[in-house]
Amino acid sequence: MEAKKIKNCFIEGPIASTFIGESIGKHQSKTTIGAHQLFLGQVRKDIIDSKSVISIEYTSHVDMANKVFEEIREEAFSKFDLTCMHIYHSLGEVKIGEICLFVFVSSAHRKAAQKAVEFIVEEIKLKSPIFGKENLEDESHVWKVNQ
Amino acid sequence: MENEVQFYGMIAEKLGISKTSILIDFKVEDVNVRDLIMDSYPLLKAMTFQIAINNVIKENISSAEVGEIIAILPPFAGG
């Protein structure tokens, strides 16, 4: 049996608002959908030791992260009544105010989509091997750790 | 045959290395990778990390997994 091809969910740099808009537009032909639920992660201007974060540089164990995303996807489909779902995460530098995570879930009804997005985002934060170097305004950096 | 070891994020920065290879002596069937790696890189003793072998989180490696990639993963920060 042919091995299942794992989708690459990474995008180099920030996730553009045009990409998000086009993704929504592509679902207009899927007329069984009654609800879309989106989560957008944005890089925040945190203050660390009196210094502002100016960007986060994301790296990842890409093969493993894509496998984890696929497992999260399969679990989400088994738990919730979904029509489709997509995960996109940035690699490389993302400046404050830019989008680094885009989770897009579609369902016939809103509640399944709402619950699924919450589940998916928590699972991504917990299980995906993604690392973030927070670059500070004085050219120093710290490593971000999910709480 | 050896196993490639990959270091990520703050661990790669701290150790000043992103990959190496190790030859594991399988005196017992399951070898604890955490102990093995910390012996080679004592700086890791003060760091929090998980281990993945062939993209699966686990601590022990068996002789059947020779050649698989061992990844040393610092705390996650996705999202």
Give chain A positions within 8 Å (CB) of B77. Answer: 56, 58, 130-132, 143-146
Residues in chain B within 8 Å Cβ distance of A64: 52, 55, 71
CATH of A10-144, one of 3.40.50.300, 3.40.50.1220, 3.30.1330.60, 3.90.1170.40: 3.90.1170.40
Question: What is the Cα–Cα distance from A122 to A117, expressed in whole angstroms?
Answer: 9
Collapse the DSSP code of A41 into the 3-class scheme (helix H, G, I; strand E, B; otherwise coil) and give the result.
strand
Is the CB of B71 inside 8 Å of chain A's CB atoms? yes
Q: What is the pLDDT of residues A86-106, one digit of tens each?
A: 999 999 999 999 999 999 999
Q: Is the pLDDT of residue B42 over 90?
A: yes
- Contact partners, residue A143, CB within 8 Å, separation at least 6: A131, A132, A133, A134, B9, B10, B13, B74, B75, B77
Sign of the torsion angle spanned by Cα atoms A6, A127, A145, B51: negative
Size of interface A-B (CB pairs under 8 A): 71
Per-residue pLDDT band for B1 (boundaries 50, 70, 90) equals confident
ipTM for this model: 0.94
Residue B10 touches partner A, C-beta closer than 8 Å: yes
Distance (Å) from the alpha carbon of B67 to chain A's nearest alpha carbon: 16
Q: What are the tens digits of pLDDT across the range A11-44?
A: 999 999 999 999 999 999 999 999 999 999 999 9
> pLDDT band at residue A1, thresholds of 50, 70 and 90?
low
Chain B residues in contact with A128 by the CB 8 A cut-off are 76, 78-79
Task: Locate the domains of chain B by residue range.
Answer: 3-73
Q: CATH assignment of B3-73, given 3.10.20.30, 3.30.2350.10, 3.40.718.10, 3.30.465.10? A: 3.10.20.30
Q: pLDDT category, A54, cuts 50, 70, 90?
A: very high
C-alpha span between A37 and A33 (Å, rounded): 11
pLDDT score for A3: 67
Q: Which amino acid appears at position B34 of this protein?
A: R
Parse chain A into domains and list their residue ranges: 10-144
Are A128 and B55 within 8 A, CB to CB?
Answer: no
